Chains A and B, each alone.
Chain A
Amino acid sequence: MRYLPLNEDDRAAMLARIGVSSVDDLFADIPDDARLGSLIEGLPEHAGEMAVERHFTALSKRSLSAGEAAFYCGGGAYRHHVPASVDHLIQRSEFLTAYTPYQPEIAQGTLQTLFEFQTQVAQLTGMGVANASMYDGSTATAEAVRMAVRITRRNKCVLAPGLHPHYAQTVHTSANGDKIEVNVLPPAMGKDLAVVDKLDNDTACVVVQNPNVFGELVDLTPLAEAAHAAGALLIAVTTEVISLGLVKSPGEMGADIVAAEGQSIGNGLNFGGPYVGLLACKDDRKFIRQAPGRFAGETVDASSKRGYVLTLSTREQHIRREKATSNICTNSGLCTLAFTIHLALLGELGLRKLAGLNHARACVLADRLGTIEGVEILNTSFFNEFTVRLPGNAAHAVEAMAKSGVLGGIPASRLFGAGEFDDLLLVATTETNTDDDDAVFEMALREVL
């Protein structure tokens, strides 16, 4: 077996040194009737690289990948170009095969990149500080709600009608154990301001997504003012972080906590994971002490050289156990690395241009699709994703387009369930699309309608 270095001579010598006659003597504590006498049933025996690769390649071919199609799906996961150097760098052994940086003297690579990541996230969101990442945007949102409940010592939260339904469900499930009252406003376009009517003296936070799940841009400023006037916090959610290159940051609009999906920068679609959750908040000790997850912080070593450590760990489960701010242990280490490298390659100039390009492509596409008879663009504003009303069932249209190699968006019913939104299609585009792709999409949509 290519991954196992011991040979039979080694094993025999080691058993002799231990003083047992067979390896099964080391498993003597397993109850007799629970011991497996033979190999695990139902599984094949070992396989070489070629055999495994053949199997995986055959499976892979059974899916239509985004790169093979004209591709217009978004809904919380976006296909952007990731420079080749990003994937090369994250595969360096020293990053790929390192553990959590608990021994800072020999983990400065991971720690410094985390510190840089935290800084970039704080800059991007316009917030004071950011943590070293969460699993993804949806779990970051759920953690942000729990954090707001601890900070305000109130137990209600209000979720805006434009919040991604998966996010709303995640918040709802996560609040269940904690007896947090979750008020989910029914999904609707153009109604995010309605959260203001639900504010009361027990409200810990309102959660508003921008751009929202329909792709609309939401001015958070009046929401922040109303929340603050009621003693509540505003949690701003973003599922498409590239938008922050062009759109006012949540910090500038008064958000107290930001939860975002960072996948768009540095990370591929990967069928939904692993992604990278961003969590940023005000630079206020009251907030930071209630934050979940890891923080890297700057300090000095014994010879006064600058260095980085994981810090403020007394909030975390390995020290605080049942009183921890969260049970989270793992972060999205390697995905944060991909994020920070890609964003470093982009820089201020590149991110702004990339965001501008995404918006421009969406504007061009909206104009193009708007010329189709019976197709209505519902958004008045958007970044790189918008909602289209079709003259029929959107799920059927999407299935039909897929047969001709076009992945033409996400039917709203996939997210909201069948019913009210059956004729709505969420369409996203990015810098990866060209005018030719748009023309293919347009033609396919005309054909299926």
Chain B
Amino acid sequence: MAMNSTGRPTAPADAQSTAQDVDTFSGSRGLLQAEPLLFEVGAADKCGVDLPDVPEHTSRLGGLERSEAIGLSGLSEPEAMRHYVRLSQRNYAIDLGLYPLGSCTMKHNPRLNEKLARLAGFADVHPLQPQSTVQGALALMGELSHWLCAITGMDAVALSPKAGAHGEWCGMMCIRAALQERGELSTRRRVLVPQSAHGTNPATAAECGFDIDELPADATGRVDMDVFRSKIGPDVAAVMLTNPNTCGLFERDIREIADLVHEAGGYFYCDGANLNAIMGKTRVRDLGVDAMHINLHKTFSTPHGGGGPGAGPVVLSKRLSQFAPVPYLVQDGDAWRLVEDDAQAEEKPFGRMCAFHGQMGMFTRALAYMMSHGADGLRQVSEDAVLNANYLLARLKGEMSPAFDGVCMHEALFDDTFLKNTDVTTLDFSKAMIDEGYHPMTMYFPLVVHGAMLIEPTETESKESLDRFADTLLSLAVAAKSGSSDRFVSAPVLAPLQRLDETQAARQPVLRWREA
């Protein structure tokens, strides 16, 4: 044993002992504190909020007073701080490291946006205050609309959709309304959707009552044009296409696709999930798009917040804009006005998608992001996002297997060919990344590629960050191919938890805590 001058050991007595073998008495592990459920640490009579006294009054509850206890647990403020801070430390986050989830655009969330979204004129105004008292909030929505239309070249934007899938539904309902007006809704039943599409696309088209017809990909990862031409016809309502697509590739034949669907009397819905790749490089209007949702929580940096909230404004072509849902915004001179019900509408709204006017809190953040970047910065964002993805592709292609040849757009797609004849699967490879301190890439999506690994670094990463990430992935790939599967099949061992039993969770669902 090596001793230093004070007589303490300078190195672990036994180097064999590894972190995961140590069982502590407390359940905590160094900085990672054990934390039971709220209902196990709290109590019914604890409270972290001091409220004013209840004034004298005659109750008017109509005999519907609650008689049963609710069962809630309470915490004092210091206990609450610890509970949630401890839980937070079990999460990976963009602020912690590279978050290469393909199709998700995990970019930096500027804190200026958080500050501005909390200004009282946006955060502390009621949706049904007199419109004369919310002109600042309405003007902000007007400015956001201007930016979204300018970036895409489209004529109008529906702001109320609350997320990407909600935006898809908005766009497809506009198309449905247009077909209804033409008297063709009953004959145009088919919506063409690529096999590589996000699951929301077919789910949305089905919710609008359409039949789904799948489009296969060709050998280059794009829509198979021979099949597309054979499927287009007078019963086609629309094509739903993501561009760049979920393989990270620009659909080269997009103009022909748009022309063919238009000639056949249908519409072109574009899934705008991947707008981050093309801002300032092309406008979707010039690609022939009729409607496209924009995920403000992807391209325009509003925080993902562990799964939401999002916002999915939909830009529309002139011929669809008349069908946009209520409420919509109009400008009368210097004043802004919301048209809130069908009776006031001069246009032909297809209906209402939700209460009130959309995700104001996301509008402020997204506009702050856009203004910070400006026209020059937004173009740079797309160029850097595409450059970063291609740099990773170039650095990784020697040891990993790109799904398609050539350059990519903002995300690089690999298949599991490089893991052939190893005992390592895409899942194992991803879980090993967790031990290396990285969030895994998107796995097993898109479905058109075997064992898919979709990497989207975004413009947020520096070259140093990309190099470190590439070095790690290359080392893992070499390790997998050399036959050392141990670090993969048992991974992760350095995360707060090891692999979780999802089969048990699904077979015997436990969806809430109950008193034992």
Contacts and interface: CB of A to CB of B under 8 A. Distances in A.
A73 B66 contact: no
Contacts of A62: 121, 135-136, 139
Interface string B118-129: 111111111111
Most A Cβ at <10 Å: residue of B101, B200, B282: B200
Interface string B161-183: 01111101100010010000000
Interface stretch (B5-13, B50-58, B260-268, B313-321): B50-58
A302 B133 contact: no
B67 A248 contact: yes
Given A18-B394, A407-B129, A341 B84 contact: yes
Given A42-B146, A322-B202, A349 B304 contact: no
B234 interface: no
A25 B281 CA distance: 12
A79 B108 CA distance: 31
Contacts of A305: 497-498
A194 interface: no
A169 to B, nearest CB: 4
A76 interface: yes
A139 B162 contact: yes
B343 to A, nearest CB: 5
Interface in B429-467: 430-431, 434, 439-440, 445, 459-463, 465
A339 to B, nearest CB: 12
B368 A56 contact: yes
A109 B255 contact: no
Most B Cβ at <10 Å: residue of A31, A178, A335, A399: A31
A430 B151 CA distance: 42
Interface string A1-24: 111111000110111011110010
Interface stretch (A122-130, A149-157, A199-207): A122-130
Interface stretch (B346-354, B418-426, B477-485): B346-354
Contacts of A76: 355-356
A420 interface: no
Contacts of B380: 1, 4
A381 to B, nearest CB: 3
B190 interface: no
Interface string B83-96: 11101111111111
B64 A25 contact: no
B194 to A, nearest CB: 12
B25 interface: no
Contacts of A93: 93-96
Interface string B257-299: 0000000000000000000001111110011000000000100
A441 interface: no
A360 B87 CA distance: 37
B207 A105 contact: no
Contacts, number: 721
A340 B114 CA distance: 20
B72 interface: yes
B496 to A, nearest CB: 6
A364 B139 contact: no
B511 A23 contact: no
A116 B38 contact: yes
A378 interface: no
A107 B133 contact: no
A147 interface: no
B80 interface: yes
A300 B500 contact: yes
Contact of B305 (A96, A178, A300, A346): A96
B387 A15 contact: yes
A307 B502 CA distance: 10
Contact of B176 (A4, A177, A347, A351): A177
Nearest to B494: A105
A173 B352 CA distance: 6
B49 A271 contact: no
A439 interface: no
Interface residues of A, number: 215
A269 B119 CA distance: 12
A371 interface: no
B112 to A, nearest CB: 5
B402 interface: no
A231 interface: no
Interface in B69-125: 69-75, 77, 80-81, 83-85, 87-96, 99, 101, 104, 106, 108-110, 112, 114-116, 118-125
Interface in A419-443: 431, 435
A328 B95 contact: no
B136 A59 contact: yes
Contacts of B409: 26
A280 to B, nearest CB: 10
A346 B72 contact: yes
A188 interface: no
Nearest to B359: A273
Nearest to A106: B92
Interface in A186-220: 216-217, 219
Interface in A394-409: 398-399, 402, 407
B330 to A, nearest CB: 17
A70 to B, nearest CB: 13
Contacts of A324: 199, 203, 206
Interface in A104-126: 104-110, 112-116, 118-120, 122-124, 126
Interface string A297-324: 1111111010111011010111111111
B60 to A, nearest CB: 5
Given A330-B164, A360-B57, A42 B150 contact: yes
Most B Cβ at <10 Å: residue of A57, A83, A104, A252: A104
A98 B463 contact: no
Given A317-B165, A322-B212, A330-B163, A106 B150 contact: no
Contact of B439 (A11, A103, A347): A103
B303 to A, nearest CB: 5
A367 B431 CA distance: 63
A226 B269 CA distance: 44
5 contacts: A18-B390, A73-B126, A97-B95, A107-B91, A252-B66
Given A19-B394, A318-B198, A349-B46, 12 more contacts: A5-B460, A35-B281, A55-B371, A67-B124, A71-B126, A269-B125, A272-B358, A305-B497, A327-B165, A335-B305, A360-B57, A379-B60
Closest CB pairs A-B (n = 9)? A347-B74, A60-B121, A381-B62, A272-B356, A173-B351, A334-B305, A62-B136, A272-B127, A274-B309
